[in-house]
Chains A and B, each alone.
Chain A
Amino acid sequence: MMVTDTDPSENVFNNNAGGINQVEEKTVSLFSINIRNFLSNHLAVFASIIVISAIVVSIFSPWFAPHDPNKTNLFLRLQPPAWMEGGDWRHPLGADHLGRDILSRIIYGTRVSITVGFSVIFIATSIGILTGLVAGYLKGYFDIVISTIVDILLGFPYLIFAIALMAAMGPGFQNIILALVYKEWVIPCRVVRGETLAIKEIEYVEAAQAVGASRFHIMLREILPNILSPVIVVATTRMATVIILESSLSFLGLGVQPPTASWGNMVADGREFMLEAWWVSTFSGIAILILVLSMNIASLGLRDAFDPRFSES
């Protein structure tokens, strides 16, 4: 614990380029201890490998997918998976009602989930960090305005808010990201504001004020590096939720529009054929489940490693 307490503040004084650089230092930093804690949690490491593979698959979809995801072939209509009667290993998970290869569509669907997940979390966290820092550090009118907006947004149930926004804006890829960001930024904002309020009273921030550092410098260089851990943990936890929300919107037909494959609209496609072809809905749902479950497990591991308050052991 001694290392934990002294190290970050030392870094801020020694290294004005920002505490994030502490990773590269030879001394045992808080960050490397946390990483080591995380690596000792095998389940979480396994889950993160799955998440990373999903990211790789989403980037290189054309290389992984055996077929064109939008190529229809009515001869293959509702072809069952390979191991069932009538199946064929050229289409391992079967084909949907238009004869499109399900495996290829799932592989391309990774793109939508991963892109929406990462963009929403990235944009929302950036907005949340900025507004949270301003509200927590500058206080006054800034805090009143930001906190009021946050409180109002918290009054809406998430999915209903997103559905209402999508209904107003119309479906589409950018609109999903926008609709989710509108409410998502509130969560990192609250975390950052709370942490900032606690940290601004610590001596090194006062010291920076005393030597005449600008408010901008103090917020971004002194406070931000030291509150990043909880922010990262919250961001990874929220990503799983965002992916479920995206697929729910697509399932309702308010999200990504056909023929673009997304896991949500694939489940919706299969719903009409569940009497004769269970495989159309089932596999894309399993894909969502695996990705979200891995993200949840990985983020729990990160939380335990980075935030000793939550550790159960």
Chain B
Amino acid sequence: MQIMLGDQHVTPEMEQTLRKDMGLDLPIQERFFRFLYNASRGNFGRSFFHRRPVMEVILERLPATIELTLCAMLIAIIVSIPLGVLAAVRKGTIYDRTSVVTAMVGVSMPGFWFGIILIILFSINLHWLPVSGRSTFSLSVPSVTGMLLIDTLLAGRVDSFIDAVKHLILPTITLGMAMGATLMQVTRASMMEVLKQDYILFAEAKGLKRRRVTFLHALKNALIPTVTVAAIQTGQLLGGNMIIETIFGWPGVGSLVVRAIFNRNYPLVQAAVLIYVMIYVLMNFIADILYTVLNPKVRI
């Protein structure tokens, strides 16, 4: 409280009123139980900074985060699975080694730095893509779902859609990089494991085409670990989101939370962390279910 007020001139009465207003005048245990009671009913209190209910502020920005996360996940899956399969099939070749090294670099690269390098390269030097934000102001469309890609299509504005895609490219690549690299490693490893199995040898001995064996017999089994890792990774993307959204000025929950931390806007931080954790647990749960569905050998 003292820190928030700083050295502004406030009378003790004003401070008391403010404390009471923010609910900071109660003893700590009472505050805690009140928080639990209210949180269980979806009420996380009011944001110190916005002077509005925290949930409202978060829900307003959630679609942007979901849009970015989903795009990053899709790109990571679309790129990494074929690359992983190819690397496993052509094990030991130059292609395999290059992709293994690339994946290793991708895992080791700090996301915040990669994002900045992409901005320097593609936005500042080449002027191909916008530096930050979600859309150009003049091309804005009425919000229906909050996800710009869908909203622009609903409004039938092709120029706005292209604009939204342009804004999405860099953050998506940055966010998807680490996930894609991990997924590629997992796909490659599990594909190599599957290709060693007897039934693959049998399928080949039967005279089936190589491609058919790879994509029909092997891939189906090799994808089991990939799918579960993808679900868990999507939960983890949320953490990466905070950093990537800050770099690209993406108006989502991540950048909101980072700002809230510096404003000492604790109700918002609490609520956002709780929501993140819930999504993370949910994704892990989905991963467990997917695993049993895909792999009938395992029972929960």
Contact A167 B269 (CB under 8 A): yes
A282 sits at the interface (CB 8 A) = yes
What string of 1s and 0s marks CB contacts (under 8 Å) between A272-290 and chain B?
0011001001101100110
Most buried by B among A160, A240, A264: A160
**Contact between B243 and A160, CB atoms less than 8 A apart:** no
Name the A residues within 8 Å of B149 (CB-CB). Answer: none
Q: Which residues of B contact A275 (CB under 8 A)?
A: 124
B61 to chain A, nearest CB (A): 16
A247 CB within 8 Å of chain B? yes
Contacts of A167 in B (CB 8 A): 261, 269
Question: Is residue B105 within 8 Å, beta carbon to beta carbon, of the partner chain?
Answer: yes
Known contacts A155-B280, A156-B277; is-contact A252 B108 (Cβ 8 Å): no
Name the residue of chain B whose CB is nearest to the CB of A159: B239
Q: Give the chain B neighbours of A164 by CB distance below 8 A.
A: 269, 273
Which B residues touch A18, using CB under 8 A?
none
The answer to whether B280 and A157 touch across the interface, beta carbons within 8 angstroms, is: yes
**One of B62-70, B112-120, B216-224 at the interface:** B112-120
From B105, B107, B110, B284, contact of A247 by CB (8 A): B110
CA of A166 to CA of B239 in the docked complex: distance in angstroms?
14
Q: Which residues of B contact A158 (CB under 8 A)?
A: 236, 239
Contacts of A230 in B (CB 8 A): none
B59 at the interface (CB under 8 A from A): no
Q: Does B247 contact A (CB under 8 A)?
A: yes
> Is B33 on the interface with A (CB-CB < 8 A)?
no
A274 touches B124 (CB 8 A): yes
* Distance A166 CA – B108 CA, assembled complex (angstroms): 23
Give the distance in Å from the alpha carbon of A297 to the alpha carbon of B262 in the complex: 36
Separation in Å of the B213 CB from the closest CB of chain A?
22
Contact with A along B221-244 (1 / 0, CB 8 A): 000000000000001101110110
Structural contact, A282 and B117, CB atoms closer than 8 A? yes
On whether A274 and B280 interact (CB within 8 A), knowing A289-B108, A292-B108, the answer reads no
Q: How far is the CA of A131 from the CA of B281 in the complex (A)?
A: 24
Query: Are B104 and A296 in contact (CB-based, < 8 A)?
Result: yes
Interface hits, A153-211 → B, CB 8 Å = 155-160, 163-164, 166-167
Nearest CB on A from B272, distance (A): 9
Interface assignment of B258: CB less than 8 Å from any CB of chain A: yes
Q: Does A253 make an interface contact (CB < 8 A)?
A: yes
Whether a CB of chain B sits under 8 angstroms from the CB of A109 is no
Interface residues on B, range: 35 or more
Instruction: Please name the residue on chain A nearest to B284 by beta carbon.
Output: A155
Q: From the candidates B108, B192, B281, name the one contacting A155 in the complex (CB within 8 A).
A: B281
Judge whether B277 and A155 touch: CB under 8 Å: yes
Cβ contact within 8 Å between A267 and B116: yes
- Tell whether A163 pairs with B242 under 8 Å between CB atoms, given A296-B104, A297-B104: yes
Asked whether, in the complex, the Cβ of B117 is within 8 Å of the Cβ of A285, the reply is yes
Which residues of A lie under 8 Å from residue B114 when comparing CB positions?
285
Q: Please name all residues of chain B whose beta carbon is closer than 8 Å to the beta carbon of A297 when the two chains form the complex.
A: 104
Chain B minimum-CB-distance residue to A156 = B277
Contact A285-B110, Cβ < 8 Å, known A157-B276, A274-B120, A275-B124? yes
Please give me the residue from chain B that is nearest to A296 by CB atom. B108
A160-B116 contact, Cβ under 8 Å, with A167-B261, A244-B110: no
User: Quick one: which of A102-118 are within 8 Å of B by CB?
Assistant: none
Q: Give Cα A311 to B221, complex, Å.
A: 21
Decide if B155 is an interface residue (CB 8 Å cutoff). Answer: no
- What residues make up the interface of B, taking CB atoms closer than 8 Å to A? 104-105, 107-114, 116-117, 119-120, 124, 192, 235-236, 238-240, 242-243, 246-247, 257-258, 261-262, 269, 273, 276-277, 280-281, 284
Other contacts beyond A157-B238, A267-B113, A271-B247: 10, CB < 8 A: A155-B280, A163-B242, A244-B110, A248-B110, A251-B112, A268-B112, A275-B124, A281-B120, A282-B120, A292-B109
Residues of A within 8 A of B (CB): 155-160, 163-164, 166-167, 240, 244, 247-248, 251-254, 264, 267-268, 270-271, 274-275, 278, 281-282, 284-285, 288-289, 292-293, 296-297, 312
6 contacts between A and B (CB under 8 A): A163-B257, A267-B112, A267-B116, A288-B110, A288-B113, A312-B192
